[in-house]
C-alpha cells in the first residue's frame, strides 16, 4: 500500500480524505471514487490515442458507471459517450451532454428509444442488425430527421480475460457476422439509398477484461480485410472504425493489465500498418473503454458486523454484499481488500468476507488475508468502480449505497443513499381498466 495514501494513524485515505470519516458521515456500504485517478485515466487516453493518419475519438461506455458527476468529468475531458438504453440516453440529455458525441448501442433498441434518440438529436446509432437498419430508416424518414449510423460487426474474435478465440461465437446476439457479407452490403446499400440515414462505418466489441492485445490485432486484421473488399469491389468508402472496449484492469495481483499507453499505441500502430499494407482509407478510429476508465478509481467501504467460526472457515460479515457487488456471484470475480482503519497491521488471518443477503453465494472475498478483525472495523474492497453501482439491486430490499467523489482532501456525495421510503415510492393500487 502506497504510504501517501495513509494517515499518521494508519487509516486509509482516498483522494486525501479519511475513509473512517467518510464512513462515519456518509454511512456504509459506501462507494468512494478517487476523482483524480479518474481524471488521470481520461487524460491518459486523450494523450495516447492519437494518430497522424486519421482522427481519433474516445467513447466512454456508460454502463460501467454513470451519473451526472461522471458525465461532467467526461464532457470536460473531451470524451464521447456510449449509451445502451433510454435510461442512459435520458441521463446524457439531462446533463446536457453534447448529443453529437453520443452513440446509441444495443441489440434490441425499442422503437420508443430510437424515437427518443432522434428527438434528442443523438448523432449516431450503432445499428445491430438488418431489421433494426430497416426500422431506423423508416423512422428517420417518417420524422424527416437526419441520423448517422455505424454497423456493428461480430468479427468472430471472442476474448475473455487471458484467452481469446478466433471464430469464437458466430452466434452471439450482438452484431452482424463478418461472414455475412451480403447482409452487410445490403445494409449499406439501404442506408445509402435513404435520404436521412448516413452510413459512417463499422463497430466491433470483442469482450471484457482482455489482457492479450493480440486479440485486437486479429480484430483489426479482419475488419481491414472487410474494408478492402468493400472499397475495391463495391467502391464503398469507410468513414470510421470503432474497436469497442474491454481493456483489462487490475483487481488482484493475479491481473497484470497493459498500461493505457501500451493499449493505445498498439491499436493505433496496428491500424496504421494494416491501412498502409492494404491501401485502406479511414477518416477516424474510435475506442470505447468502460471498465478501464473507472474500475480502479473506485472502492467500497463496509462496516464489519458479526464474526462467526464454522468448522472450516472464519466468516466476517459486512453490511452490504451481492446487492452492491454482484460480480462475484455472477462471474466469480476476485477482489483485494484491506482493513481501512488498521492499515499498518500484519495480515496474518484468513477470512471469508460474506454479505448479508439471503443467498449462500453472497460472498465478496474468499480467503481474504487481513489483520485480526473486530466488529465495527472498516473493510475496503478495491477496484469496485466498474459494474458495481451500475449493477446494484434492491434484493432483500437493501438500499442502494451512496456514491462519493473525493479529491484533494474534499469529498462530495454525488449519488444519495436510498432510504426505505424511496423503495416504496411506486407502491400503488390503481385500477387498470377504469
Ligand atoms: C460493455 C461494452 C463496452 C465496454 O466494455 P469494458 O469491458 O467495460 O471496457 C464497450 N462497448 C460495448 C459495445 C460494450 O458492450
Indicate whether 346 and 419 sit together in one domain.
yes
Residue 434 has what pLDDT? 72
Q: Are 27 and 113 in a shared domain?
A: no
Catalytic residues: 358
Instruction: Tell me, yes or no, whether 108 and 71 share the same domain.
Output: yes
Q: What is the CATH number of the domain that holds 178?
A: 3.20.20.10
Ligand 1 within 6 A of 41 CB? Answer: no
Residue 60 belongs to some domain of the structure: no
Q: Which of 57, 151, 245 to mutate to test the pocket of ligand 1 (most atoms within 8 A of CB)?
A: 245
Q: Same domain for 274 and 373?
A: no
Greater model confidence, 120 or 433: 120
- Rounded Cα–Cα distance for residues 300 and 324 (Å): 9
Residues 208 and 236 in one domain: yes
Q: Do residues 266 and 328 both lie within one domain?
A: no
- Residue owning the nearest CA to atom 11 of ligand 1: 244
pLDDT exceeds cutoff 50 at 60? yes
Are residue 192 and residue 243 in the same domain, yes or no? yes
pLDDT of residue 3: 46
Q: What's the rounded mean pLDDT across residues 377-396?
A: 98
| 329 and 375 fall within a common domain | yes
Alpha-helix runs per DSSP H in 2-67: 19-26, 35-48
Give me 230's grid cell: 468493400
Q: Is the pTM of this model over 0.85?
A: yes
Q: How far is Cα 122 from Cα 116, in angstroms, rounded to an integer?
A: 9
CA distance 296 to 282: 33
Domain boundary among 260, 289, 318: 289
Any ligand 1 atom below 6 A from CB of 244:
yes
Grid coordinates representing 179? 461472414
Q: How far apart are CA 38 and CA 350, in angstroms?
A: 32
The cell for 13 is: 485515505
Range(s) of the domain holding residue 101:
65-289
Q: According to the model, what pLDDT value does residue 1 have?
A: 44
Q: Identify whether the C-beta of residue 340 lies closer than 8 Å to the C-beta of residue 13.
A: no
Domain tally, the chain: 2
Long-range contacts, stretch 81-88, CB < 8 angstroms, 24+ apart: 82/126, 82/288, 82/290, 83/122, 85/113, 86/110, 86/112, 86/113, 86/116, 88/62, 88/63
pLDDT in tens, 217-234: 999 999 999 999 999 999
pLDDT at residue 166 greater than cutoff 90: no
Atom of ligand 1 nearest to the CA of 293: 9
Atom of ligand 1 nearest to the CA of 289: 9
CB contact at 8 A, 210 and 249 = no
Q: Is 153 in the pocket of ligand 1 (CB under 6 A)?
A: no
What separation, in Å, do the N-terminal and C-terminal C-alpha atoms of the chain show? 63
- Does 385 contact ligand 1 (Cβ within 6 A)? no
**Does ligand 1 have an atom closer than 6 angstroms to the CB of 205?**
yes
Give tens-digit pLDDT for 32-46.
999 999 999 999 999
CATH number, residue 345: 2.40.37.10
Task: Band the pLDDT of 170: cuts 50, 70, 90.
Answer: confident
pLDDT of residue 164: 78
Amino acid at each position: 500500500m502506497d504510504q501517501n495514501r495513509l494517515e499518521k494513524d494508519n487509516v486509509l485515505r482516498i483522494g486525501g480524505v479519511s475513509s473512517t470519516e467518510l464512513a462515519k458521515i456518509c454511512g456504509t456500504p459506501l462507494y468512494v471514487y478517487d476523482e483524480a485517478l479518474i481524471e488521470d485515466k481520461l487524460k491518459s487516453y486523450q494523450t495516447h490515442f492519437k494518430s497522424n493518419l486519421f482522427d481519433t475519438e474516445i467513447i466512454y461506455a456508460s454502463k460501467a458507471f454513470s451519473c451526472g458527476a461522471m458525465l461532467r468529468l467526461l464532457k470536460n475531458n473531451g470524451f464521447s459517450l456510449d449509451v445502451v438504453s433510454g435510461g442512459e440516453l435520458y441521463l446524457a440529455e439531462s446533463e446536457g451532454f453534447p448529443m453529437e458525441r453520443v452513440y446509441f448501442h444495443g441489440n434490441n433498441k425499442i422503437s420508443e428509444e430510437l424515437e427518443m434518440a432522434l428527438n434528442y438529436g443523438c448523432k449516431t446509432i450503432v445499428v445491430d442488425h438488418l431489421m433494426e437498419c430497416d426500422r431506423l430508416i423508416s423512422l428517420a424518414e417518417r420524422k424527416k430527421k437526419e441520423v448517422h449510423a455505424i454497423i456493428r460487426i461480430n468479427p468472430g474474435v471472442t476474448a475473455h480475460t487471458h484467452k481469446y478465440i478466433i471464430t469464437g461465437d458466430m452466434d452471439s446476439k450482438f452484431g452482424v457476422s463478418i461472414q455475412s457479407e451480403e447482409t452487410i452490403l445490403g445494409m449499406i446499400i439501404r442506408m445509402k439509398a435513404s435520404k436521412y440515414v448516413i452510413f459512417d462505418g463499422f463497430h466491433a466489441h470483442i469482450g471484457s477484461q482482455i489482457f492479450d492485445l493480440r486479440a485486437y490485432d486479429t480484430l483489426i486484421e479482419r475488419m481491414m480485410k472487410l474494408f478492402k473488399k468493400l472499397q475495391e469491389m463495391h467502391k464503398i468508402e469507410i468513414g470510421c472504425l470503432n474497436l469497442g472496449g474491454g481493456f483489462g484492469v487490475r483487481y488482484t495481483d493475479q491481473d497484470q493489465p497493459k498500461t493505457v499507453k501500451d493499449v493505445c499505441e498498439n491499436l493505433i500502430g496496428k491500424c496504421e500498418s494494416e491501412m498502409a499494407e492494404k491501401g485502406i482509407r479511414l477518416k477516424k478510429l474510435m475506442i470505447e473503454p468502460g471498465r478501464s476508465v473507472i474500475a480502479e478509481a473506485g472502492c467500497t467501504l463496509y462496516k464489519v458486523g458479526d464474526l462467526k467460526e464454522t468448522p472450516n472457515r472464519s466468516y466476517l460479515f459486512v453490511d452490504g454484499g451481492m446487492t452492491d457487488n454482484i460480480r462475484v456471484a455472477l462471474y466469480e470475480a476476485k477482489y483485494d481488500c484491506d482493513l481501512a482503519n488498521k492499515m499498518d497491521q500484519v495480515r496474518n488471518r484468513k477470512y471469508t468476507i460474506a454479505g448479508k443477503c439471503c443467498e449462500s453465494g453472497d460472498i465478496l472475498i474468499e480467503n481474504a488475508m487481513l489483520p485480526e478483525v473486530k466488529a465495527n472495523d472498516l473493510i475496503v474492497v478495491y477496484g469496485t468502480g466498474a459494474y458495481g453501482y451500475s449493477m446494484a439491486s434492491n434484493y432483500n430490499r437493501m438500499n442502494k449505497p451512496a456514491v462519493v467523489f473525493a479529491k484533494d482532501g474534499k469529498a462530495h456525495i454525488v449519488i444519495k443513499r436510498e432510504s426505505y421510503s424511496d423503495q416504496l415510492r411506486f407502491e400503488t393500487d390503481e385500477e387498470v381498466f377504469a
